[in-house]
Amino acid sequence: MPNRWKPSPALRATFAIHAGAAVGCLLAPAIWPWALGALVINHAVITVAGLLPRSTLLGPNLTRLPPASVALREVAITIDDGPDPDVTPQVLDILDAAGARATFFCIGWRARENPALCRDIVARGHQVENHGDSHSKAFAFFGPRRMRADIAAGQATLAGITGQPPRYFRATAGLRNPFLDPVLHRLGIRLAAWTRRPYDTRCGDPDTVLARLTRDLAPGDILLLHDGHAARTADGQPVILAVLPRLLAVLREKELNPVTLNQAIS
């Protein structure tokens, strides 16, 4: 059984502000404008934290690999929004050719449509993790019950297909709300974000995407790419297919070792 959930300092402060505002208004009703102002500021801070994918204000969030992994000059390539039957097999071939390992954050409904491809990801030495069941753009507005149901459905699907229960979850676009941390705690999985994001679902220029990934690249970085919903290059190619071989070449030049999150954390 997991340990009891402990809210982050920011969430503890939120609870205290709400309790203080309620008690203060009961004891001195005239202070209600100040109490309301404190609540508005608090909610603004919490909302902004949920809009920042790398924020840890709402709870633990993996944005870099641990020191032991840094010492081994490891980086993690993470690939979201698949499996895509047209793109993912080509991504796997590129990784195989370089002897590189990656972590695929897969969408539950896509995995159910492509179970053999999910199993192939694992069979070829990579890792499948939970990117939610629906990949809803409204995920950050879900209440705790709907959020838990969506993540649990993705967890059950991916564990059933691959035989390996996911250890990590990544929210749609990294956006979330204060309900996520206790939900993940109860499900026994961790939130994972990234160090470098190239916006490759919007930008189809390989040079720009590569530059965003490799500028000041260092051991311990977690890199984000997309096999599903990938933007297209000028000639119609998914941008990940144009960028990934070049990215792997840069990693070799810098003597950086691409590993899965499990390899890095364990």
Cβ count within 10 A of residue 246: 15
Q: Are residues 43 and 170 in the same domain?
A: no
Locate 107 and state its tokens: 């969408």
Location of structure tokens 């990215």: 247
Q: Tell me, what's the pLDDT at 2? A: 52
Domain count for the chain, please give it.
Answer: 2
Which pTM does this prediction carry?
0.93
Give 181's DSSP letter. H
246-262-151 Cα angle (round to 5): 100
Q: Is residue 148 part of a domain?
A: yes
Domain that holds residue 200: 67-265
Q: Are residues 95 and 156 in the same domain?
A: yes
C-beta separation of 79 from 240 below 8 A: yes
Q: Which residues are catalytic?
A: 80, 226
Q: Is residue 1 part of a domain?
A: no
Q: Tell me, what's the pLDDT at 32? A: 87
Q: Is residue 168 part of a domain?
A: yes
Q: How far is the C-alpha of 10 from the C-alpha of 22, rounded, in Å?
A: 18
Q: Are residues 120 and 238 in the same domain?
A: yes
Locate 68 and state its tokens: 């032991």
Q: Are residues 91 and 190 in the same domain?
A: yes
Q: Are residues 117 and 220 in the same domain?
A: yes
Q: Tell me, what's the pLDDT at 1? A: 44
Q: Tell me, what's the pLDDT at 43? A: 84
Q: Are residues 191 and 96 in the same domain?
A: yes
Q: Residue 24, Cα to own-chain centre: how many angstroms?
A: 39
Q: Tell me, what's the pLDDT at 3? A: 80
Q: Tell me, what's the pLDDT at 20? A: 87
Q: Residue 215, Cα to own-chain centre: how many angstroms?
A: 21
Distance between the two ends of the chain, CA-based, in angstroms?
20
Residues of the chain with pLDDT under 50: 1
Q: Tell me, what's the pLDDT at 238? A: 98
Q: Is residue 58 part of a domain?
A: no
pLDDT in tens, 127-149: 999 999 999 999 999 999 999 99
Locate 50 and state its tokens: 């949920």
Q: Are residues 222 and 164 in the same domain?
A: yes
Q: Are residues 25 and 112 in the same domain?
A: no
Q: Are residues 17 and 145 in the same domain?
A: no
pLDDT in tens, 192-228: 999 999 999 999 999 999 999 999 999 999 999 999 9
Q: Is residue 189 part of a domain?
A: yes
Q: Are residues 41 and 160 in the same domain?
A: no
